[in-house]
Structure 1
Amino acid sequence: MLCLALVDVTTYFLTALAGLLTGAGLIIAIGPQNVFVLRQGVRREHVPAVVAVCAVSDVVLIVAGVAGLGALVAAHPGAVTFAKLAGGAYVLALGVLAARRALRGTETLEAGAEETGAASRWAAIATALALTWLNPHVYLDTVLTLGAIANSHGNAKWAFAIGCCVASIVWFCALGYGAGKLSRFFASARAWRLLDAVVAAVMFAMGAMLIATV
């Protein structure tokens, strides 16, 4: 009995580790969501709220995928098409705003700290929610891909899901809070222009790709 228990523990541990590595491989990629978290982290604005929204959203989607929501999403391609169009338009709009900031070149950490309206906590949370839930790639990665892989592990599927969830939580915490260490490099307007140019490029590329695949 003890040997069987050890075998089960080892199996669940290895499956959870596989989930951790697989989840990390899909989550750690340059995209609108990660770029937004990075930018908020550099500015040190509403980082806990933004990190929490992104991490909790990923956990919900991963659990839903393992529970079988992936099959439901795959059966309704119209919903995926709508998400692509809405998400693509929103991401393109964010790209335009980033491009305008890059062209103006007036933003610094000090200037950002003086802003009030556009940089409110609720605006940051709404943007994080939109970049997560309006991005069909999030569903492909979490609900469909991770859900399918998890279910291939049979009774250990929830161990795999736990590993994926841990990867997401660790990544967003590291990205959001670790980005604050870069603040001293963004004391000048030139550094912000470069960051916003990168943000704009990523947003334009992702938005165009989403709309082109409809």
Structure 2
Amino acid sequence: MLALVHGIILAFGLILPLGVQNVFIFNQGATHRKLLKAAPAIITAGFCDTILIILAVSGLSVVVLNFEWLKNLLFLCGTIFLIYMGFVMWRSTSDSSSKIQVPSRFSARRQVTFAASVSLLNPHAIIDTIGVIGTSSLAYVGHEKVIFTLACIIVSWIWFFFLAIIGRKVGQLGNSGILLKRINQISAIIIWVMAVYLGYNFFTYL
């Protein structure tokens, strides 16, 4: 029971703060007319988090991130990708055949690519998962460790679905695409700010 409660609280504590992953899932929920259309982003983010949590609990990820060059590479790739992703969101074009401005929606393939990238190319998210979940899991063994791990994973999946649902509700507030366009622009700005932060970390670690 303790392992279950610990896993739930810990996972919520890690996933609640505003981050690129959360912004992207919310954005996809808001910009698609049906929640099902945002499923590729939700499932990919959940799957990536599941992998990271399992790696953290197993201890394998700690070994990988002991290589300084790998951390620097993650910071560099993450910075470049976030800058690109911000431009893609900002430049979401409107439908020229309609008088109503509707931001273009990401295809399933692009959702998968972007969701995987913001999940796996985010050094801070990876380090937090390793440092917090991985370290906390050391307090448990056997079935308790399994319960702890499953609690973290389930919370992650629930949160992504919840974010997309909230995004969909927000997206339905406007009767035109103006609100959705603003959501895209705000998302882009947040992502650029995080790109600057990652870039700063990259040069700091050099």
Give the TM-score range, shorter chain: 0.7 to 0.9
Q: Quick one: structure 1 residues 150 and 108, their matched pair in 2 at CA, closer, same or farther if it must change by over 3 Å?
A: farther
What are structure 1's unaligned runs of at least 5 residues? 1-12
Find out whether 1:184 has 2:172 as its counterpart: yes
Find out whether 1:96 has 2:87 as its counterpart: yes
Give the Å deviation of 1:58.
0.6
Matched-pair contact (CA < 8 Å) for 2:171–2:179: no
Q: How well do the aligned residues superpose, as a CA RMSD in angstroms?
A: 2.6
Give the Å deviation of 1:154.
4.1
Task: Output the CA distance in 1 between the equivalents of 2:101 and 2:111.
Answer: 18
- Residue identity in the other structure for 1:98: M
Identity rate, percent: 22
The one-character-per-residue Cα deviations of 1:167-194 (angstroms, maximum 9, x if unpaired) are 1011011112332222322433432343
Task: Output the CA distance in 1 between the equivalents of 2:145 and 2:138.
Answer: 5
Matches within 5 A, 1:104-123: 111-112=102-103, 119-123=106-110
Give the Å deviation of 1:49.
1.4
The one-character-per-residue Cα deviations of 1:138-157 (angstroms, maximum 9, x if unpaired) are 21122332111111334433
Secondary structure in 1 matching 2:17: coil
Q: TM-score, length-normalised on structure 1?
A: 0.81
Find out whether 1:146 has 2:146 as its counterpart: no
Task: Output the CA distance in 2 between the equivalents of 1:74 and 1:122.
Answer: 29
Residue of structure 1 equivalent to 2:75: 84
- Residue identity in the other structure for 1:175: L
- Residue identity in the other structure for 2:187: V
Residue of structure 2 equivalent to 1:40: 28
The one-character-per-residue Cα deviations of 1:7-39 (angstroms, maximum 9, x if unpaired) are xxxxxx121111111111101221111111111
Aligned length, in residue pairs: 197
Residue of structure 2 equivalent to 1:166: 154
The one-character-per-residue Cα deviations of 1:54-95 (angstroms, maximum 9, x if unpaired) are 111111110111001232033212111101100111101222
Task: Output the CA distance in 2 between the equivalents of 1:30 and 1:109.
Answer: 30
What are structure 2's unaligned runs of at least 5 residues? none
Matched-pair contact (CA < 8 Å) for 2:102–2:181: no
Find out whether 1:73 has 2:64 as its counterpart: yes
Q: TM-score, length-normalised on structure 2?
A: 0.84
* Residue 22 of structure 1, aligned match among 1, 10, 30: 10
- Residue identity in the other structure for 1:185: L
Give the Å deviation of 1:126.
0.8
**Which segment is superposed worse, 90-99 or 202-211?**
90-99
Give the Å deviation of 1:108.
9.7
Greater percentage in helix: 1
